[in-house]
């Protein structure tokens, strides 16, 4: 965080070079010479650090970007130069003493940034993408406040409460409700603003969260100008890659070796409900979820249900993989090619994060995905009945 003014800029995918360019005029009433203002952003793969001298409280930046990008404007009140200025903040350890900075979206348009005493409190006008960002940010505030309250409740709970199954279930249920509330906000924004670049970014953030059956209609609703962007084409490519493992699709078959080096195929489980669980010994959330898998397995294993674990461990991590299986009590079949994120089964199933799982019915069809905690128990109970 102490290097936020250097590192905060995220490179966004580019599109064909836009004609024109941007002009940013600024006015900060508390600033004057020898103050300098720095503008940090990316053009393609190149990081740009531009500067402007403050005169009569005002400054101006001009340039061009390939597509809207995240940018940061930083104030150097003493005008000491960017190198010395950045080094001073990079070396200090007090994160409360960050420089005066302002994050916004930079696009090829004309905009004004106005502030009274601090650029961190600035407002930006004349920029459609920043207007949309204000709108979306305001819509997400209620969700963020609930999330902060939930985190506070969780952190302030006693050890006994935090170890209580009922307390953990309540926190988990509320977290899921908040996630669904956020998804709803983003979906409504995308539908209301089909030509906004923020909608493209919002859709990208939903990619790992919602099923392709919900993702594709949102993509279809976008304006053609967004679909034609490189980032828009990348989202389309991701959607197409997710279709083979969407709910309702026949699960793609794969074969990998088990812990003894014997090949095991997913198709060999036909006739059973099988949960294909992608995990790794080095994955903290996976290890935290394993007790829930053990509980579900023991509860339903007599009901034509089993689990097939697929590890994303590395070749040099095989011993850790085997130790984790033993330590966590994972008695079901475990396979891996020890290819880490290049595990062929994980690539086939477009796995981008773990834990990640797919519930497959006896006919080989995917009927659910990402079932964790109480959701897994609820789904299996719906299938097999209460026990």
Question: What is the Cα–Cα distance from 288 to 312, expressed in whole angstroms?
Answer: 16
Show the domains of the chain with their CATH numbers. Answer: 4-125 (2.60.40), 131-245 (no CATH), 255-384 (3.40.30.10)
CB 138 within 8 A of CB 118: no
pLDDT above 50: residue 18: no
CB 303 within 8 A of CB 382: no
Peptide bond into 58 cis (omega under 30): no
* pLDDT tens-digit series, residues 47-76: 899 999 999 999 999 999 888 999 999 988
Show contacts of 175-178: CB within 8 Å, 24+ apart: 175/150, 176/375, 178/143, 178/146, 178/147, 178/150
**pLDDT, average across residues 334-357:** 95
Write down the pLDDT at residue 339. 96
- Going by pLDDT thresholds of 50, 70 and 90, the confidence category of residue 386 is low
* pLDDT tens-digit series, residues 152-189: 988 888 888 888 878 888 888 888 899 999 999 999 99
366 or 10, which is more confident: 366
- Going by pLDDT thresholds of 50, 70 and 90, the confidence category of residue 140 is very high
* pLDDT tens-digit series, residues 254-294: 999 999 999 999 999 999 999 999 999 999 999 999 999 99
Instruction: Report the side by side order of strands in the sheet with 366-369.
Output: 333-335, 305-311, 273-279, 356-360, 366-369
225 or 1, which is more confident: 225
CB 368 within 8 A of CB 359: yes
Write down the pLDDT at residue 7. 33
**pLDDT, average across residues 317-341:** 96
Phi, psi at residue 379, to the nearest 5°? -65, -45
The alpha-helical segments, DSSP class H, found in 243-373 are 284-300, 318-328, 344-348
- Going by pLDDT thresholds of 50, 70 and 90, the confidence category of residue 114 is very high
CB 77 within 8 A of CB 35: yes
The alpha-helical segments, DSSP class H, found in the chain are 4-7, 82-91, 128-156, 159-162, 165-192, 197-206, 212-221, 224-227, 230-242, 284-300, 318-328, 344-348, 374-384
- Going by pLDDT thresholds of 50, 70 and 90, the confidence category of residue 89 is low
- Going by pLDDT thresholds of 50, 70 and 90, the confidence category of residue 92 is low
Residue 365 token pair: 């069809």
For every residue of 155-194, DSSP letters joined together read: HHS-HHHHT-HHHHHHHHHHHHHHHHHHHHHHHHHHHH-T
């Amino acid at each position: 965080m102490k290097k936020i003014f250097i590192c905060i800029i995220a490179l966004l995918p580019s599109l064909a070079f836009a004609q024109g360019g941007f002009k940013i005029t600024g006015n900060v009433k508390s600033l004057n010479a020898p103050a300098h203002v720095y503008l940090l952003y990316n053009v393609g793969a190149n990081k740009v650090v531009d500067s402007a001298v403050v005169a009569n409280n005002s400054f101006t930046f001009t340039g061009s970007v390939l597509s809207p990008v995240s940018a940061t404007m930083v104030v150097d009140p003493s005008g000491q130069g960017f190198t010395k200025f950045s080094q001073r903040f990079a070396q200090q350890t007090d994160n409360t003493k960050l420089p005066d900075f302002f994050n916004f979206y930079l696009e090829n348009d004309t905009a004004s940034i106005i502030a009274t005493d601090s650029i961190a409190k600035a407002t930006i006008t004349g920029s459609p993408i920043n207007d949309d960002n204000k709108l979306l940010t305001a819509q997400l505030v209620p969700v963020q406040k609930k999330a902060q309250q939930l985190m506070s409740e969780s952190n302030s709970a006693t050890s006994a409460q935090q170890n209580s199954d009922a307390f953990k279930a309540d926190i988990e249920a509320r977290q899921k409700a908040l996630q669904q509330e956020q998804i709803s906000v983003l979906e409504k924004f995308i539908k209301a603003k089909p030509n906004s670049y923020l909608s493209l970014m919002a859709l990208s953030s939903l990619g790992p969260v919602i099923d392709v059956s919900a993702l594709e209609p949102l993509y279809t609703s976008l304006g053609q100008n967004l679909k034609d962007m490189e980032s828009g084409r990348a989202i389309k490519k991701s959607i197409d890659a997710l279709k083979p493992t969407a709910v309702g699709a026949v699960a793609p078959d794969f074969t990998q070796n088990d812990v003894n080096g014997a090949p095991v195929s997913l198709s060999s489980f036909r006739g059973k409900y099988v949960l294909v669980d992608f995990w790794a010994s080095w994955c903290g959330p996976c290890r935290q979820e394993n007790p829930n898998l053990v509980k579900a397995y023991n509860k339903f294993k007599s009901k034509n249900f089993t689990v097939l674990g697929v590890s994303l461990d590395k070749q040099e991590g095989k011993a850790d993989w085997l130790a984790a299986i033993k330590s966590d009590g994972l008695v079901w079949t475990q396979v891996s090619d020890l290819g880490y994120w290049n595990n062929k089964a994980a690539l086939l199933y477009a796995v981008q994060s773990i834990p990640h799982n797919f519930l497959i019915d006896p006919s080989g069809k995917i009927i659910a995905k990402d079932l964790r905690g109480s959701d897994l128990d609820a789904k299996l109970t719906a299938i097999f009945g209460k026990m």
